[in-house]
Structure 1
Amino acid sequence: MARPDLHDRIASLRKLRVAQDRVRVRRTVTRRDGVRVEVDGRWLVECCSNDYLGLSQQFQVTTALQDAAGRDGVGAGASALVSGYHAAHVALEHELADWLQAPAALLFGNGFLANLAVQQALLGEEGDACVQDRFNHASLLDASRLAGCRLRRYPHGDAEGAIRQLRNVPEGAAMLATDAVFSMDGDIAPLRALALVARVQKALLYVDDAHGIGVRGPNGRGSVAEARLGVEEVPLQVISLGKALGGYGAAVVGDAALIQHLAETARPYLHSTALPPALAAASSEAIRQARRDDWRREKLAGLIERFRTRASAAGLDLMASDTPIQPVLCGADAQALAWSAALEESGYWVPAIRPPTVPEGKARLRVTLSALHSPEEIDGLVDALVRAREPQLQAADVA
């Protein structure tokens, strides 16, 4: 039997990516100061970070990190169930549970691990199924495949589609899983409608609020709280420590019995080194800042409104989003790359997002805003977007 040569395979795949304008390139940040970053020797205004509240460099947060690292060291040393569960982890889990008004929380290294843990630990029997929004994050979709349960997908944001898919699961446990804020479009899932669907169909509603926590809801408690839902309706939600909270890691928050089951059986939890305690200490401080500083959310909301008002007036193709994620549709992959390059020439860093991350023909610039941006930087970004679009408009006029 002649086996394929893997080097030949990857060379062929890369050639295809080059032809389709879909090569991804890592850029090196050498220095960072607020929303200004030095990339390839040039300072740019960063409009592509998930640091929505500007907490990743906040003085008290970084001081908490440094103090804890000096006291506890760099790493946890082991998995949580061996000897890696430190006092800083306990404090962070309690802080999260108190903030989100839930019985319990469990820390993970990142959201990918958390989503895999939940589905592997809860959907392990024959006939079990996970019903998901078609635009869910890759970690939710991949988790179903790795867990071995049946994956059924419904049209984006369509609660009636979700109930149709759940009705097609005649036996076995069922989970209804959705992003709360969709990471590429910036829109919001219909959580109240989905909660009703889950209750009627006796499915567990699981919400990934990576991009909503800290930004939405009372005291930044996220999309579930904003929808006036609690643990009874949403027994489990995953939140990110690495977006609005500015750090790294994730947590599953919710029903105490389910959280205990995850802590005792979830393979990504059992077989991973625990989150560094210094990062846990920094995240606890970030949560205190996020809970208290409503001004960060208020300023961010004002910047979002300013961007949308000016961009809409300029005729830019926006999507229906009132979140910090503000996609500007470009269409063709080459067009998105050209716009991104033009923005960089103007001093703004906004990478092009292309398939397969987004659907074919829907390449875009994924603008993300932070409370650290100034109104003048928002105005300058819109002006730069208008200039970037001019060659496309001129070509259309000639045609």
Structure 2
Amino acid sequence: MRPDELDTALNNLAAEHRLRQRAILHSPQGPHVRIDGRDYLAFASNDYLGLANHPALKTAMQQAIDDWGVGSGASALVAGHFAIQQQAETALAAFTGCEAALLFGSGYAANLGVISSLLGRGDAVFADKLNHASLNDGCLLSRATFRRFRHNDVAHLEQLLRDTPAKTRLIAVDAVYSMDGDEAPLAALLQLAERYDAWLYLDDAHGFGVLGEGRGVLFDHALHHPRVIYMATLGKAAGVAGAFVAASHSVVNWLINSARTYIFTTAHPPAQAAAVLASLQLIKDEGWRRLQLQRHISRRHLQSGVGGCQPAFGLAVLAWRVCR
């Protein structure tokens, strides 16, 4: 788009009621928030377990700032990988039942980094039609042949896998789809990954902290397997920010050496890792938060009269915030 076209394009978006604008929050996340000078009930947060303003996370972060400072000062591979971050990675790997874990600045960065580091020209990536935009962008940037299969349609995916001549293949899905709240058929996808010699990459942004006693879909569906690469964000149920990838030692070491979104960026603040550790402890110890969330999901489910699929976690958050 040329410079002289920008204003016209923005005006067109506004005329179509599609112009994105940021509301300014003047309070912490919680059931009640203050936005642009007015008080509201919070209907739109992904803070599923109510941890974003939890005292334990704030205390951990404040103490870590005293111990480690504010900024990391460098990329992780130069001089920006702190002991507290290594601690958090070790804890995340153990929590998800994987050999190793690697922290990323965001889920978006993790998806771009993983997919583009494992695939290139001549390879093939297969993605669900309803995948998050960050997965799609990772697929496109990898330069691999990008094929999309109908939502949760295992037969369509198998047809695409059968027809590809590519030697390296990767299946990429959201474990839980945020808009509809349904889950991917993970066991069937893993069977296809084994049959057609493919990686299975799971974006569990909306399942981590909630499913599998908080440990995510790997535990919920017993999916630990050398072909499975697991990603979860830490800014939703965990209440902090950033993301992590958990997999075998070999996969994580490869990402450290080849994921450009990890190598060529300043490491995230060390205090953030301390908050992640505090969050993991609460997720482990306070199972009542998930029970409360499920009660509100059920209540919303009955009120909406929806049948046949689980309501989206976004709706569950609405009920969590209004009713807790």
| Superposed pair shares fold, TM > 0.5 | yes
Q: Deviations over 1:47-70 (max 9, x none)?
A: 110100011111111100110012
Partners in 1 of 2:21 and 2:301 — Cα distance? Answer: 29
In structure 1, the partner of 2:313 is 324
In structure 1, the partner of 2:65 is 69
In structure 1, the partner of 2:108 is 112
TM-score (norm 1): 0.78
What does 1:231-270 correspond to in 2, within 5 Å?
231-232=225-226, 234=228, 236-270=229-263
Partners in 1 of 2:54 and 2:308 — Cα distance? Answer: 31
What does 1:184-263 correspond to in 2, within 5 Å?
184-217=179-212, 219-232=213-226, 234=228, 236-263=229-256
The alignment's C-alpha RMSD in Å is 1.7
In structure 2, the partner of 1:278 is 271
What residue identity is the alignment partner of 1:374?
C
**Unaligned stretches of 5+ residues in structure 1:** 327-366, 376-399
- Structure 2 residue 160 is the aligned partner of structure 1 residue 165: yes
Partners in 2 of 1:151 and 1:174 — Cα distance? Answer: 10
* Moved segments of 4+, more than 6 Å: none
Structure 2 SS opposite 1:253: strand
Q: Deviations over 1:364-389 (max 9, x none)?
A: xxx734755425xxxxxxxxxxxxxx
What residue identity is the alignment partner of 1:6?
P
Answer yes or no: is the 8 Å Cα contact 1:86–1:277 preserved in 2. Answer: yes
What does 1:73-88 correspond to in 2, within 5 Å?
73-88=69-84
**Unaligned stretches of 5+ residues in structure 2:** none
Answer yes or no: is the 8 Å Cα contact 1:110–1:249 preserved in 2. Answer: yes
Q: Deviations over 1:333-369 (max 9, x none)?
A: xxxxxxxxxxxxxxxxxxxxxxxxxxxxxxxxxx734
Answer yes or no: is the 8 Å Cα contact 1:300–1:369 preserved in 2. Answer: no
**Structure 1 residue 23: Cα displacement:** 1.5
- Structure 2 residue 4 is the aligned partner of structure 1 residue 7: yes
**Structure 1 residue 288: Cα displacement:** 1.0
Structure 2 SS opposite 1:47: coil
Answer yes or no: is the 8 Å Cα contact 1:129–1:175 preserved in 2. Answer: yes
Q: 1:123 aligns with which of 119, 123, 145?
A: 119
What does 1:21-60 correspond to in 2, within 5 Å?
21-32=17-28, 34-60=30-56
Structure 2 SS opposite 1:258: helix
Answer yes or no: is the 8 Å Cα contact 1:51–1:246 preserved in 2. Answer: yes
**Structure 1 residue 230: Cα displacement:** 0.8
**Structure 1 residue 37: Cα displacement:** 0.3
In structure 2, the partner of 1:135 is 130
What residue identity is the alignment partner of 1:161?
H
Q: Percent identity?
A: 38
Answer yes or no: is the 8 Å Cα contact 2:102–2:252 preserved in 1. Answer: yes
Number of aligned positions between the proteins: 324
What residue identity is the alignment partner of 2:207?
G
Using CA pairs below 8 Å that are at least 6 residues apart, which structure has the higher relative contact order? Answer: 2
Partners in 2 of 1:49 and 1:200 — Cα distance? Answer: 39
Partners in 2 of 1:203 and 1:308 — Cα distance? Answer: 36
Partners in 2 of 1:13 and 1:319 — Cα distance? Answer: 41
**Structure 1 residue 323: Cα displacement:** 4.6
Q: 1:368 aligns with which of 307, 317, 322?
A: 317
Structure 2 SS opposite 1:148: coil
Partners in 2 of 1:223 and 1:373 — Cα distance? Answer: 27
